[in-house]
Structure 1
Amino acid sequence: MLNINSMKKQITISLAFVFSLFSATAQTVSLDSIINTIQKNNPSLKMYDADIRSSDEAAKGARNWDAPTVGTGLWMTPYNPKYWKKGDNGAFGMGQYQISAEQMFPNKKRLDAEEKYLQSVSSVDAERKKATLNELVAAAKKNYYEWIIIKKKLSVLDQDEKLLNFMIQSAEIRYKNGLGKINAYYKAKAAIGNIQNMRLMLENEIKQRRIILNTLMSRDKLFPFDVDTMYVVKNYSATAFDSTTFINSRSDIKAIEKSIAVNYLQQSAEKAKLKPEFGVRYEHMFGFGGLPMQYTLLGTVKIPLTKWSSRSAKANVESLKWKTESLYQQKQTIVNEATGMAYGMQNDIEVKKKQIKLFDENIIPALRKNFQTMQLAYEQNTEELFSLFDAWETLNMTQLEYLQQLQDLLMMQVALEKVLEIK
């Protein structure tokens, strides 16, 4: 029996040592540190970096010329080789061997237009990257603040368990001495079970938040760390929201504006394709049978103004015109919806602050006083355990409701900052 007890004691000490090591390694990480890590490591953002580099590299080839055309072969040569040779009467042979080269010179205005267009493409991805970062930051804030509230709920549960244990122990002593009834004893025992069950759920939620935040930071999903329980409730009550507010701050709106600018540049590039392009063609012929060498030097011009050759460019210009109109309406939609959402959230936040103030200054202090009064009366044998348990239960539910209200407020703040793109 002694050996078994000794083994149990050693196991308990070992587990305590392991948990102490885990706690030691679980360093506290601030929200700013998490956001900085997301900005550096998240693969979604690296994907945009690669897209931006891809577009910039493609732009380097904007001033490309068509490759020269080179040809060689027989020109105006009889099928019968006997005519290739010089005749006995001194007549020249027939046929020539030809080499040729041709080069088209691109229109400078077309090259300029295409270069500006291709150089502008990456600007859209740059703004989309910022918009994605805003989404990631909002997700990080949400899970970080939820973790803080969960820790506060666990703290309330720890206090509750101590109070319930006091009630149970006191009731057992009184019942043995015939000084009290046991009618609320089993309710207190059941409440401890509920608290332990809730603690398991909350501890699991902390693990889930840790996994989500580690995923956002693109590191080991089980990497141990803790969060700082400090938080700031910001004041946006005096903030006015208009179209300029969102146009200047929202990256997704800026991405649409960049897309509109890219479309205009692409239109210019398509129109530049309708401009003429010039070229030169040189041919040199080696005559057979004493025939003198000859050459041809031709200037060429490509005229894409005819109906059948300009149809594609004109269709693209018209298509881009309507695509630009679509983007403009999309921008107006986002601005309109964001303005409405911001004012709605601003109002909800102010109402929620007032509710929390009532909990802080009125409801919880009164219920805490009520519980303390009941506890004192119970200790003086003027109140039953049932009344004390009822006072505790009301206080406990109200404290948890207060924390839920606080979490709702922080989630509203996160949502508003996401709409305003405040990191």
Structure 2
Amino acid sequence: MGLPQILAEIESNNPSLKAYDSQVKSQEARLEGAGAWMAPMVGAGTFMTPYPRQMMSEEDKGAFMISAEQDIPNPAKIIAKRKYLETLAETYTLGKSERFNELRSRARQLYFDLLIASKRIKFQHEGRRIMQTMKRLAEIRYPYNQGRLNEVFRAEGRLAEAENMLIMTEGQIRTYKIALNALMNRPATAVLEIDTNYKVSFLPMAQLDSSYLAETRSDIRHMQHNIHSMQANINQMKQEAKPDFRLRFDHMSSYSAMMPKQFTVMGMLSIPIAPWSSKMYKSEIKSMNFEIEAMRQQKTAMLSEMLGMAKSMESELGSMEKQLDNYEKKIIPVLKKSLDVSMLSYQENKMDLAMVIDSWEALNMTRMNYTDALQRYYKMITEYEKSIER
């Protein structure tokens, strides 16, 4: 599997990303009821009915009453509430983008670690093969007094060390594959082979500035959206200054046949601008305005910090490329030639095995240092891509 295929699998199958989809649908379902009214109230009972055993005239017997009441919200409040709830659904969409950026970065790093491990294990197989050859030569020479017994033992020890390094690298490869399978929501032991010919390249962003990061980074966009959402909430709170309405209808049927049926229709209006009631929403609006200002300051600070980190990584990656180029074109080829010459001299009986082993160890150590440096280089590329969210 190539890296783009793995990233596509993660985007479509990772459970944590699917959870965000469900949360978005939850908010959308909640939005459907944003314009709902309160349930109507109905009641039945007696109206102006005297207590028993009292003197009363026919018209004083009271009446049986049926009542219905309905609260009618202000349309402006419904519209403001709907707009606020619409922003909450977008919050989860942006949260999904943030989560995918984290998972994408993790997958890249695991993929690059597998590339490093495949390169490392190739070096280790070559080193083991060379030491196996040296050990066989030492064992052949010893009976003819052309070599010493300690050279045989030293070669055997180095061969065992090479075997241990192979075992460790193979274990790392299994661990990386299990982690990648988990990200793709596949069975841990599912077969996974990567494209070992994949070329990792560093491409600095040409137009990298705070404006680019503000438009690209999902966490920055999330923060900007939170500001927008809070502004929608402020607008909703401001609507609390507008009145609500209530309509009530009462129907009375008198217990006296001489009395007519009666009704009452009442229209009521709330007065939210009264000083003892307006304090609640006014204080909330004031508090949220301060929070918005704080979030704007945090956003500015984050953009400045992110831009500085990204530029710093660009500079460091350039230095790393030069170091790796030295390893690939100068250091490792020279040490490889040194080992080849030492092996040839040993075969011609012009050098001790100990000196060949020293050359072998120097090459192995340099190759491991090279792969460690390459791994750090790949890791920084991953961090850079994550920081600019590419």
Shorter chain as denominator, the TM-score bin is over 0.9
Bigger shift: 278-287 or 259-268? 278-287
Change (3 A) 1:134 1:126: same
CA contact (8 A) 1:84 1:95 kept: no
Q: Secondary structure at the match of 2:241?
A: coil
> One-letter code of the match for 2:272?
P
Corresponding position of 1:318:
286
Corresponding position of 1:297:
265
In the TM superposition, 1:20-419 aligns within 5 A as: 29-80=1-52, 86=58, 92-237=59-204, 239-289=206-256, 290-419=258-387
CA-based RMSD of the aligned residues comes to 1.7
CA contact (8 A) 1:154 1:199 kept: yes
Percent of aligned pairs sharing the same letter: 33
CA distance in 2, matches of 1:174, 1:69: 106
CA contact (8 A) 2:49 2:60 kept: no
Q: Secondary structure at the match of 1:226?
A: coil
Bigger shift: 31-40 or 173-182? 173-182
CA distance in 2, matches of 1:221, 1:237: 35
> One-letter code of the match for 1:34?
I
> One-letter code of the match for 1:209?
Y
- Structure 1, unaligned runs of 5 or more: 1-28, 87-91
CA distance in 1, matches of 2:13, 2:295: 31
1:34-58 alpha-carbon deviations (Å, 9 max, x no partner): 2111111211111111111111111
CA distance in 1, matches of 2:233, 2:275: 21
1:291-348 alpha-carbon deviations (Å, 9 max, x no partner): 1111112221111111222222222212221222232223223212211211121111
Deviation, structure 1 residue 116: 0.6
Change (3 A) 1:81 1:38: farther
CA distance in 2, matches of 1:238, 1:60: 43
CA distance in 2, matches of 1:220, 1:128: 26
CA distance in 2, matches of 1:233, 1:41: 25
> One-letter code of the match for 1:297?
V
Change (3 A) 1:68 1:84: farther
TM-score relative to the length of structure 2: 0.95
| Count of residue pairs the alignment pairs up | 389
Q: Secondary structure at the match of 2:186?
A: coil
1:246-287 alpha-carbon deviations (Å, 9 max, x no partner): 111111111111111110001111111110122322211112
CA contact (8 A) 1:124 1:256 kept: no
CA distance in 1, matches of 2:57, 2:161: 113
Deviation, structure 1 residue 81: 6.6
CA contact (8 A) 1:83 1:94 kept: no
1:390-413 alpha-carbon deviations (Å, 9 max, x no partner): 111111111121111111111110
Change (3 A) 1:286 1:81: farther
CA contact (8 A) 2:214 2:221 kept: yes
CA contact (8 A) 2:7 2:104 kept: yes
1:369-390 alpha-carbon deviations (Å, 9 max, x no partner): 1111222222222222222221
Change (3 A) 1:134 1:163: same
